[in-house]
């Protein structure tokens, strides 16, 4: 039985359509510039009803010391005054793709559903900007968010950090940096199917080779580009952290047909052992980011509902 046979049938159709148009998936396109362009050209931004209820503003803010400025997009419910909880969003893309625009539907829904101020960060990508550019940009954006909390109407006592895939790994790295540098307090951490281990040694990292969305070859390549020849430390690959204590309460979810399954299970176990309150959900039949690719599937609706419930509880 192949890995594709294990995919939720309702979520598989859109994946098969993608593979017909791009055989092997986006990671099969060798040139990274072309890969990004093809991905962007095929990106269909769904009409989000919440758009009419959310105001958005793009800003340029200070990056890491001695480094270029970075972009952030700030979201706020249009009809709500006063101080609101905050969600700091870090987009995915394997450290080599993705942007704030691609994450816009998710950020908009989070803002509207949770009545929260959302700040989405545009960090530099590898291979042009290898580690540590990504996590340092994300941490700089968090510092800016905390410093401007009053202006943004954001309650710093109710601040979550959210990200999927590479964004999940960067969310963990950002939380580790905040812990180790005595930075802003984070109330809640939501790394979704996070990319956390550069070693590619787990059973699932060997098993997922032909699904067409973030298979082994693409993951190995992305880590090589991201590290740029450097040895990974805990801020590059949070699975390497010797000490996970002191991190905020954490929610992790991952699918059974996701290359990151085993490294994420191990991460959740280590967080619990370190005394970090950790909620883990494993969704049978879900492949990497399937809830984004097949949002109307019953499985996808269950994934989103579970996440939103966890965020509501954490930020109440």
Give catalytic residues, as residue numbers: 165, 258, 288
> How far is residue 289's CA from residue 293's CA, in Å, rounded to a whole number?
7
> How far is residue 145's CA from residue 202's CA, in Å, rounded to a whole number?
36
Between CA 28 and CA 33, with CA 32 as vertex, the angle to 5 degrees is: 125
- Work out the widest C-alpha separation in the chain, in whole angstroms: 55
Long-range contacts of 11-16 (CB under 8 A, 24+ apart): 11/285, 11/286, 11/287, 11/290, 11/293, 11/294, 11/297, 11/299, 11/300, 12/294, 13/294, 14/293, 14/294, 15/211, 15/212, 15/213, 15/287, 15/290, 15/293, 15/294
Regarding beta strands 250-257 and 188-192, do their DSSP bridges make them parallel or antiparallel, or are they unpaired?
Answer: parallel
Task: Determine the distance from the C-alpha atom of residue 124 to the mean position of all C-alpha atoms in its chain, rounded to a whole number.
Answer: 15
**What are the start-end ranges of the E strands in the chain?**
54-61, 70-77, 84-90, 117-122, 154-164, 188-192, 250-257, 278-287
53: which DSSP letter?
G
Token output for 167 = 């964004």
CB atoms within 10 A of CB 289: 17
- The answer to whether 293 and 213 are in contact (CB under 8 A) is yes
Regarding beta strands 70-77 and 84-90, do their DSSP bridges make them parallel or antiparallel, or are they unpaired?
Answer: unpaired
């Amino acid at each position: 039985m192949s890995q594709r046979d294990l995919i939720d049938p309702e979520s598989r159709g859109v994946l098969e359509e993608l593979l017909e148009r791009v055989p092997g998936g986006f990671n099969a396109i060798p040139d990274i510039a072309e890969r990004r362009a093809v991905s962007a050209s095929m990106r269909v931004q769904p009409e989000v009803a919440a758009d009419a209820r959310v105001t958005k503003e793009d800003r340029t803010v200070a990056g890491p010391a001695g480094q270029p400025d970075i972009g952030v997009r700030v979201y706020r419910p249009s009809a709500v005054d006063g101080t609101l909880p905050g969600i700091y969003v870090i987009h995915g893309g394997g450290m080599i793709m993705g942007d704030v625009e691609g994450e816009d539907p998710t950020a908009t829904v989070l803002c509207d559903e949770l009545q929260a101020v959302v700040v989405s960060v545009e960090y530099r990508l590898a291979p042009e900007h290898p580690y540590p550019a990504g996590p340092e940009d994300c941490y700089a954006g968090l510092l800016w968010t905390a410093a401007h909390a009053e202006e943004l109407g954001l309650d710093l006592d109710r601040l979550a950090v959210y990200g999927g895939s590479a964004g999940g790994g960067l969310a963990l790295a950002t939380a580790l940096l905040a812990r180790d540098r005595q930075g802003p307090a984070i109330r809640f951490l939501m790394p979704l199917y996070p990319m956390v281990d550069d070693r590619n040694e787990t059973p699932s990292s060997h098993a997922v080779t032909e699904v067409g969305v973030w298979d082994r070859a693409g993951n190995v390549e992305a880590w090589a580009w991201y590290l740029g020849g450097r040895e990974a430390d805990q801020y590059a690959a949070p699975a390497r952290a010797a000490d996970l204590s002191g991190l905020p309460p954490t929610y992790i979810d991952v699918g059974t047909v996701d290359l990151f399954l085993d490294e994420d299970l191990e991460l959740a176990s280590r967080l619990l052992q370190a005394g970090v309150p950790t909620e883990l959900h494993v969704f049978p039949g879900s492949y990497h980011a399937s809830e984004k690719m097949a949002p109307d599937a019953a499985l996808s609706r269950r994934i989103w509902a579970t996440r939103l419930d966890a965020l509501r509880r954490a930020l109440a």
